[in-house]
Amino acid sequence: MSRIRLEDIRDTTLRDRIARKLCCLQQLAKEIPAVAFGERPHERHSPNATEIEARRVLGLEGIGLDYESRTFRVVGHDYTPDWCGSGVAIEVKGAFIHSRDGRILFDAARLAHPELKWIWAQKKKGGKKGDRWQVDIWPRKI
């Protein structure tokens, strides 16, 4: 069986239909492993000052947390928590959040992976009392 190149198809309507279908199949092929396993490889960076401070202030040093070590595929996007370890995923935010996308993806990953403990830690600018941390933990105890 010989191979046919897309450029060799003279009927432009057919060529366009095939090209669109190939594009969809290529996109699907990229997403299947991520959907099947819930994780994707991620290029690691270094933690910023707020993320380092959160780990220190919240007493999370020395408990086996790795920075950006796990990536989840949720609602068609990649989401990488700042810190992950044995059964826990932690997202750290500063006082000013540039976009709500991070919280939306955090919540989607939290709902998709209830087997993990999820922590959202946000540094808040305090007036006279100075900075403080607001920490939300899931699953919540009733």
Tokens of 1: 């069986």
pTM: predicted TM-score of the whole model, two decimal places: 0.66
What structural domains and CATH numbers belong to the chain?
Answer: 6-37 (no CATH), 49-138 (3.40.1350)
- Picking from 82, 95, 86, 73, the residue whose alpha carbon sits closest to that of residue 117 is 86
* Tens of each residue's pLDDT in the chain, 142 residues: 466 777 877 888 887 887 887 776 666 666 554 444 455 555 667 999 999 999 998 888 888 899 999 999 998 899 999 999 989 999 999 988 878 888 999 999 999 999 999 999 999 987 777 788 999 999 876 4
At residue 16's C-alpha, the angle toward residues 14 and 19, to 5°, is 110
Pairwise CA distance, residues 139 & 142, whole Å:
9
